[in-house]
Amino acid sequence: MPDDATPPPVPEPPASLAPSRQPAMWLVLAGVAVATVVAVLAGARAGCFALSGLLAVAGVCRAAMPGPGPVGITVRSRGLDVFFFLAPAAVMAFLALSLDQGEL
């Protein structure tokens, strides 16, 4: 490229990455906070179910939403994202169910 040539323009990103424009990230943060409060107030089993439900909802949203998906829950391909949300949700729910009530 010659010295006097101007560089090509940089394309604008398709979506703003400002935190105020990413409701999915704030909803997930609120869900984790709610799961933490539930765990403290109602016990570990209830907190595990709340966190498991949050993971399941995020997985279903990632599977159902069109386009590249919401920032904050879109990391890899759609199939891998859905798997890595739903598999831990199922495992956490199973482990919470498998505990005896006296062990909590």
Give the residue with greater pLDDT, 101 vs 72: 72
Side chain identity at 39, as an amino acid letter? Answer: A
According to the model, what pLDDT value does residue 3 have? Answer: 62
Determine the Cα–Cα distance for residues 94 and 50; give it in Å rounded to an integer.
13
According to the model, what pLDDT value does residue 47 have? Answer: 94
Secondary structure of residue 99 in the 3-state scheme: coil
Q: What is the pTM of this model?
A: 0.76
Whether the pLDDT of residue 57 is over 80: the answer is yes
Determine the Cα–Cα distance for residues 9 and 84; give it in Å rounded to an integer.
37
According to the model, what pLDDT value does residue 63 have? Answer: 92
Q: Which residues contact 90 (CB under 8 A, 6 or more apart)?
A: 52
